[in-house]
Amino acid sequence: MKKWLYRVFLLYVFWMILYCYEWFIFQPFTFTSMIKNIINFIIGYHQLWYLPGMIGAGILTFIFRDKVKLGIIMTFTLFIIGVLIQYLASYHVFSKPILDKFVNYTFIHRNFLFLGFPFFYIGYFIKNSKSLVKLSLPVLISISILGLGLLLGESWYNYNNPQENGGFDNYLSLILICPALFLLFINPKLARLSNNGNLALISSSIYFIHPFWFIVLNEVTTFNKFVMTLFCFALSLISSYLLIALYKVKVQNKQIFKFIL
């Protein structure tokens, strides 16, 4: 556990330093700016919230690894609370400004407790479950299609609802579609498609580097969002191969840049 935590922490520090020009308050250096910098580092810049979220989720999963029933109850309870906070925030249910402002801080619902831990523990449960991993391919495909339909429907509802004016992270349908897709792709008949270790590295690379290209493209182009997305994906994909090459550099049989992915 200590080894895993150390590795994730180094990964987090590296990418936070890389993006520090976006989140770190350099001037003026005051007590307030120092507190904001500390909070920003704890929460994580943009997509990097996932790493401190992963650390917290990993620790909770480790604590409740032998208390499966309690862990499952906590998983669904915490997930539902996170979804509820998300909807209360995005639809501005609270009339008091201070409450509305509080729940609309993204990190209140998008964190290790309400989003990270539930999926970590489901993954742990799947790993130790004999019945779930034996579900047939047709059943898994059917559940995945159902989950995808629910996610698209929920997304469409929130996108088109005039009362909703914020982004969404905690979708209720994720609790079905994410485990379903995971089970689908570890099914023996499909597992060979994801058997290549580079697939995980490519996805991680794209995840970590894509905000960099959005920042650059926003500065040097006037592309619309759709074209911007295409360019960003292409540049992120190219960058992923460079990052993977750097990640695999070895000196005396040791990966000296292991902390970047």
Residues 125, 69: Cα–Cα separation, whole Å: 10
Average pLDDT over residues 192-213: 83
Domain boundaries, the chain: 1-128, 135-187, 196-261
Given a cut of 70, is residue 51 above it in pLDDT? yes
77-126 pLDDT per residue, tens: 999 999 999 999 999 899 899 999 999 999 999 999 999 999 999 999 99
Q: How many CA atoms lie within 13 A of 51 on its CB side?
A: 27
pTM: 0.89
Distance CA 30, CA 97 (A): 28
Contact 90, 158 (CB under 8 A): yes
* CA–CA gap between residue 146 and residue 176 (Å, rounded): 9
**CA 50 to CA 107: how far, in whole Å?**
11
Q: Supply the pLDDT for residue 194.
A: 60
